[in-house]
Amino acid sequence: MSRRRIGFWYRFAAVLAKPPLVVLFKRDWRGMEHIPQEDGFITVVNHNSYLDPLSYAHYQYNTGRVPRFLAKDSLFKGGFVGAVMRGTGQIPVYRETADAVSAFRAAVEAIDKGECVAFYPEGTLTRDPDMWPMEGKTGAARVALITRAPVIPVAQWGANEAVPPYAGIKKIRFFPRRTLKVLAGPPVDLSRFYDREPTAELLREVTDVIMDAITQLLAEVRGEPAPAQRYDRRRALAQGRRGPAAKAATGHGPAAHGAGTEPATGRKTAGRTVAEGESA
């Protein structure tokens, strides 16, 4: 059994990031017992603030198992930020290039070496008007089926109240102090999907199971029921809707009709099909 050592760069980043987080926020951390103490694993986390990576990394750092995030390649290019990203072992994602699949290979290799790889399955900040997890992409599902490593769902809330997504600097509010809430759950049982052909339909089904687990945890964190349907960004964009900024125009709410998508919200109902090759 093995695990990645925290190392100099992660400790250095913690020295810089932890003090302001401790000063500016209160914490409500639960579920740390579900973070494996040995061997490689995957965490899947909802994404609703630019501050999320720091908030979540702080939580997991305190478990003794540091995460390796998949991050856009531009963050690795020179300067202090690039040095920290490389030094802490984060994984660059080269989107829309022939090297895009290399991120998944690196993730598989890291897990095989006993490390943790953290995925934001939505691929970007949620566009859901009420900040619930939206449709996920299939990268985490692909890596989970290849490695068969534990997949730990994580829900977080609170950073978005201080640093709202897609809001200008005038919307940032650190006071009064918000509470950073993070809840990890038990591993998602994906065993029924092993030894099956990884078709687009199967990857979508696995991704939906993963997103359901995250959403259920977030409902517990928020103390309110999640919507019956998940927000589908692609359909919303096709209808000319763009997430939180369109809330007033969408008439957001659970669907009351059958298969398809709510015309106003872009939420998926039933019968969605996925194009071959969809990925993270």
Query: For residue 204, is pLDDT > 80?
Result: yes
pLDDT digits (tens, 9 = 90+) for 123-170: 899 999 999 999 999 999 999 999 999 999 999 999 999 999 987 777
- Give residue 246's pLDDT: 46
Q: How far apart are the first and last CA of the chain?
A: 29
Q: Tokens in use for 118?
A: 């953290």
Residue 217 placed within a domain: yes
Residue 145 placed within a domain: yes
Residue 256 placed within a domain: no
Residue 175 placed within a domain: yes
Query: Looking at residue 167, which CATH number applies to its domain?
Result: 3.40.1130.10
The pTM score is 0.81
What string of DSSP letters covers 137-202? PSHHHHHHHHH---EEEEEEESHHHHS-TT--GGG----SPEEEEEEE-PPP--GGGTTS---HHH
Domain that residue 58 falls in? 7-228
Q: Which of 249, 278, 181, 259 is nearest to 220 (CA)?
A: 181
Residue 178 placed within a domain: yes
pLDDT band at 100 (very low <50, low <70, confident <90, very high): low
Q: Higher-confidence residue: 167 or 195?
A: 195
Q: pLDDT > 70: what percent of the chain?
A: 81
Residue 170 placed within a domain: yes
Residue 101 placed within a domain: yes
Residue 258 placed within a domain: no
| Domain tally, the chain | 1
Alpha carbons 199 and 145: distance in angstroms, whole number: 12
C-alpha distances in Å from residue 180, one per residue of 70, 117, 135: 22, 21, 24
Nearby residues of 25 by Cβ (< 8 Å), 6 or more positions away: 55, 158, 159, 162, 177, 178, 179, 180
